[in-house]
Amino acid sequence: MPSAEDATDDGLRRRMPGLAQAEAAHRLIEAGRNEVAARRTRSLPSRVLAQLGDPLMTVLIAAVALTLAIGDHADFVVIGLVIVVNTAVGVAQEIRADNAVAALSALSAPHARVRREGADHDVPAATVVPGDVLLLGEGDIIAADAVLDEAAALLVDESMLTGESVPVDKDTRTSLSAGTVVVRGRGVATVTATGGSSSLGRIAALLDDRRRPTPLQSRLASLGRVLATVTLVLCVVVLVQGLVRGLPLGTMAVTAISLAVAAVPESLPAVVTLALALGARRMAARHALVRRLPAVETLGSVSVLATDKTGTLTEGRMVVQHVWTPRTTVELQGVGYEPEGDVLTRGKPVSPAARHEAQEVLAATALCNDAVLRPPRPASPGSRWEALGDPMEGALLTAALKVGCPDRTELVSTHPRIAEAPFDSRRRRMTTIHAMPSGGVLVCLKGAPEAVLVPSILTDSPDTLRLARAEAARFAEGGYRVLAVASGLRRETPRPVTAGEAGLRLLGLVALSDPPKPLAAVTLAACRGAGITPILVTGDHPATASAVADRVELLGPHAAADHVVTGEDVAAGRVSDLTAVRVFARTDPQQKLDIVAAWRARGAITAMTGDGVNDGPALQQADIGIAMGERGTEVARQAADLVLTDDELSTVVSAVEEGRRVFDNIRRFLVYGMAGGAAEILVMLIGPLLGLPLPLRAGQILWINLLTHGLTGVAMGAEPASPGVMHRPPRRADQHILGGGAWQQLLLTAAVVTAVSLTAGLAARAWHAPWQSVLFLALLAAQLGVVLGLRDRPVTLENPFLPLSVLLSALLGAAALYFPPLGAVLDTEPLGWKAAALACACAPAGFLGARLAHAVFRPPNPRHPHERGDEHARHEPIGSER
């Protein structure tokens, strides 16, 4: 069976076949990629200078100069080595993070529909070239500057260029600008300028491309400044303490500076950026494409998920199951877009008269239709019938073929479309006008029953309209999406097209089903288990919304969606508390914004899914906007923070889990790094009071810092998610990064590391062993024990890099004692087996201390506050004061 082509442009396709593929490739080389000026890549020298410009690195450089001036060549070598290694690691992490973000940007690049060699193609917008024929539809972002060749009720939002909020009507031969948005209608245009030559490119050339830190990085930088101040004060105390005991100024100055640098995890911003970027890459592997890095952090805090219905909770592949006319009801069987299945009336084969009436209804829907139905491709075994365009319109084409209507190509050839009024959310109906073979024109209309079954449109009797409304309500209560279909003959084309919508005859109703996805109920249950409150926000009929909410158990397995609020209720202010509602129907873009704003005012972190043009504002307003990658419009994808490449809501749960994992790992690194730094300061402060004059030398401090913050610190970013990560409430938005028990864990861990290290040093001194070398090894071993103790699952093979990094750090620590050249630089001495065993015993002590801190100060799992909201939603009247 031949495939149906886009109805009205067969002639245009012949007149404008588009560029040949070879010519398009040649022009792409000549004109360059259709991209605005790319962010300038930082050169390697500039990256190195940025690392050296860090305040703490500047202090280290001053220490190098000081050690060189006083002739302390050993510390000069060690500090210089630390500078080189820290700078190299920082630059490598920055480059790796930039590469990860660049890869994500490439994945999220917009696409465009073009016609080349007479066929339609979906291509990356960056490959559009001058002369390409663009095919434009509602929701598309215009990929390049172009001139319209054909327009059908085309309305374009140019606010991003002009600042004017009112969309602009576009007619043939008018110009279009890159980056503007089609909000209504269809069009065909020829590209005139791309890339930097386009209007968008000229503006982009004026923009500041300096990157801003993520919110998490800003908070960590603020924390780092406070820690640096406190640490420097304590290091001055260490300096003064040493001078009072008569130690040389140069030695104590270098020691204090080294301690300051070692105590503060100065590599934290780079580690955070890398953790966010790698988390985003892991999400991409799980079909969740992060378009903005801060979203990785925010995802872990999501407490409310506002989801739409079609294609998210349901399959998004609609099937016509019933065709009702005032005289009969026809049932259609079959699934998907395959035009196969029985046509029945009350369970029996359909009569010729009933089939004819169904054909009349469905032929009108096939004409009043912009979808394309394509058969399986012979070159692709296993391929299936598919619909390009609106799934509902594809289902109508399939149903028309099932009842024996001619193929849409044949219908269009005998009834060519000559005018149209596209569907929009305000009119809620679509009208097309077709030339008749015998003269005159045919008006075909389909739309929501409330917008069609009215005397201003239909000439049918009041009894017929009343019967049709009752039947539409019955279908809707059963969870069906219902369309009313009407038609009428005219002598000439009405101007405007909407003038032809009066005086039509009702053909019948079409009831379509969109079955829930198999995993929808499981996914929503997982959300509730993670403390995330799911709500349904749809434009469908209230009865349909309620039926779907019940089927997917949106409120839980033992609750029914008995309270549904409509957009009209919201607009009229009849709902005093929008956060008490779980199912919204017949909503428009403004009401979606109101719903998001109400939850945010309550302190919730909101995530909203969407796929249409009208979802764009709400996706931007929500803390996390989630767009559908397969069926979503370009407007929705560009407005979103997260794009689901598989259109599966379950992917959101995976993304939330990944977000919580990233945040947990960053916090774990903070506890580990700051506890180690605090222990080093405490050892340097308390040691002299216990008779250890200079507990550690500058080089030894920096070597410990290099092995702990460098190797093991980075490996902590790859730790797997905690076993119960999705069974605890979301983190509050106002919670400090070290809140929820992290401060207490840090202090207890630091105290344990300090105590066991000093104990080892004092015991070694009592044995007349090289106590400073013992203290050095003990402090390193205790911190390596801590890093393993902080794991949620101490024994797991999911992150082999962490135990391997601990092993490598231990070997490098041993090398500081037993490799003579390194020992000479660090001023350490080899240890006997007894002293070495004493130092190494601090590792299990550090491990046990970290486990104890984790057990004692692990935050409880209080009942999530939004669960109380669920109870109110179930048992209180909607709109009541709470």
Residues carrying an active site annotation? 308
**How far separated are the first and last CA of the chain, in Å rounded?**
60
Encoding tokens for residue 301? 């805090």
Q: Which two tokens stand for residue 146?
A: 């172009």
Q: Give the C-alpha separation, 631 to 386, whole Å.
A: 13
- Give the Cα separation of 424 and 308 in Å (integer): 18
* Residue 221: both structure tokens together: 């930088």
The answer to whether 443 touches 488, Cβ cutoff 8 Å, is: yes
Quick one: tokens of 710? 């460098």
Looking at the DSSP assignment, which residues form a beta bridge with residue 430?
A: 446
Find all residues with CB under 8 Å of 585, minimum gap 6, and list them: 538, 539, 540, 541, 542, 544, 545, 546, 564, 565, 566, 567
Task: Give the type of residue at 505.
Answer: R
CB distance 515 to 315 below 8 Å: yes
DSSP E strand stretches across 256-303 = 288-290
Closest CA to 704 of 790, 817, 804: 817
C-alpha–C-alpha distance, residues 853 and 333, integer Å:
62
- Alpha-carbon separation of residue 867 from 301, 395, 793, 874 (angstroms): 16, 39, 29, 11
Q: CB of 812 within 8 A of CB of 746? A: no
Give backbone dihedrals phi and psi of 444, rounded to 5 degrees, phi first: -115, 135
Distance between CA 305 and CA 299 in Å, rounded?
11
What tokens appear for 29 in the block?
Answer: 């080389």
Residue located via tokens 């968008």: 200
Gap between the Cα atoms of 393 and 447, Å rounded: 12
d(CA 195, CA 143): 9
Report whether 786 contacts 676 (CB < 8 A).
Answer: yes
From CA 656, how far away is CA 666, in angstroms rounded? 16
- What H or E segment, with its residue span, contains residue 837? helix 833-840
Tell me the one-letter amino acid at 305: L
| Cβ-based neighbours of 210, under 8 Å, separated by 6 or more | none
Cis peptide before 496 (omega within 30 of 0): yes
| Alpha carbon distance 60, 232 (integer Å) | 13
CA 481 to each of CA 41, 355, 399, 875: distance values in angstroms, whole numbers, following the listed order: 51, 22, 15, 28
Q: Give percent helix, percent strand, percent coil of the chain, each to the nearest 5.
A: 50, 15, 35
Sequence letter at residue 278 = L
Are 260 and 254 contacting, i.e. CB atoms less than 8 angstroms apart? no
CA–CA separation, 247 vs 750, rounded Å? Answer: 27
- Tokens 């008018």 locate to 174
Q: What is the DSSP letter of 613?
A: G
DSSP 351-413: PHHHHHHHHHHHHHHHHS---EEEPPPTTSTT---EEES-HHHHHHHHHHHHTTPPPHHHHHH
Spell out where 689-795 has E strands.
none
Q: Residue 631 in contact with residue 611, Cβ under 8 Å?
A: yes
- From CA 746, how far away is CA 736, in angstroms rounded? 14
